[in-house]
Amino acid sequence: MPDDVIVAFANTGKEREETLRFVFECGSRFGVRIVWLEWRDTKPCFEEVGFNSASRNGEPFDAIIAKKKRLPNWRERWCTSMLKLEPMFAYAKSLGWKKGEYAELIGLRDDEGERILRGFAKAEETGRRVGYPLANAKIRKADVMNFWRKMDFDLALEPWEGNCDLCFAVPKAIRLARIRRNPSCGLWWNQKEVERDGFFDRRVRVADLMDRVERHPDMFDTAEFDEFDAECGDGCGYGEAAQ
């Protein structure tokens, strides 16, 4: 990796343990320094952490909810900008890098064209520079899968399980499948809805999703989710509307 390229990972505190392990393993096995960042309500708005010290109980997410005094939702997805983008921008600033003078390189593939176009449009609006090296190299989903098939480690998650463990921005069917596979993943999200007397998704509360899985544990077929590939970075994945 060239010296002037920084690889950064921003932890929301609600990432799956598999994700944290994967980021750590990518760093150690490929010999790449990965900067682990978490949002903090301080100046600058980040702290550098590592695999061992990374938050695992939603602490950064809790802190942005406390700051905003409300929950994010599909219309107001400021969790992405606060938890993912702000710490990375602040880190770049701490290195003396100025907006527009460096490029943000994002791992979207050639077959994720719509998100790439949105990313370019957003960057132009805000005076940033973005680049998509995988898309430039015409790398598609099958190429990525083939690469990882040859490796002796991988993310160890289903394609629909990435990012925050019960991200409200993914379709309801996927949230149900995530709860089904990992029943405790709804607890934190439900607790936030109760504490704030609010909701992440105005159409369905987390408690209802958990209840539905408990009553019909075998109802959900995950095969249809294969094409979804959650990613927090360009709006965290699924376009503007959750289903």
Length of the chain in residues, anyone? 243
Q: Using the minimum distance from each CB to ligand SF4, give the nearer residue, 73 or 140.
A: 73
Site track for ligand SF4 across 87-126, x = CB under 6 A: ----------------------------------------
**Residue 108 or residue 236: which is nearer to ligand SF4 going by CB?**
236
77 binds ligand SF4 (CB under 6 A): yes
Joined tokens for residue 52: 């061992």
First to last CA, the chain: 39
To the nearest whole angstrom, how small is the minimum distance from the Cβ of residue 83 to ligand SF4?
5
Instruction: Provide the minimum distance between the beta carbon of 99 and ligand SF4 in the complex, in angstroms, as a whole number.
Output: 22
The token pair that represents 171 in the structure block: 């379709």
> Residue 54 and residue 67: Cα distance in Å, rounded?
20
Q: By CB under 6 A, is residue 11 in contact with ligand SF4?
A: no
CA distance 138 to 169: 27
Tell me the closest approach of the beta carbon of residue 163 to ligand SF4, in angstroms.
4
Q: Which is nearer to ligand SF4, 37 or 232 (CB)?
A: 232
- Residue 71 burial (10 A CB sphere; 0-12, 13-18, 19+): buried
Tell me whether the omega of the peptide bond preceding residue 44 falls within 30 degrees of 0, making it cis. Answer: yes
- Cβ-contact 28, 51 below 8 angstroms: no
d(CA 165, CA 179): 9
Report if residue 139 touches ligand SF4, rule: CB under 6 A: no
By the rule CB under 6 A, 55 interacts with ligand SF4: no
Is residue 232 within the footprint of ligand SF4 (CB under 6 A)?
A: yes
| 12 forms part of the interface with ligand SF4 (CB under 6 A) | yes
Name residues whose C-beta falls within 8 Å of residue 151's C-beta, 6 or more positions apart in sequence: none
Stretch that binds ligand SF4, among 106-114, 138-146, 165-173, 207-215 (CB under 6 A): 165-173
Least distance from ligand SF4 to the Cβ atom of residue 23, Å: 15
Contacting residues toward ligand SF4, per CB under 6 A: 12, 77, 79-80, 83, 163-164, 167-169, 232, 236
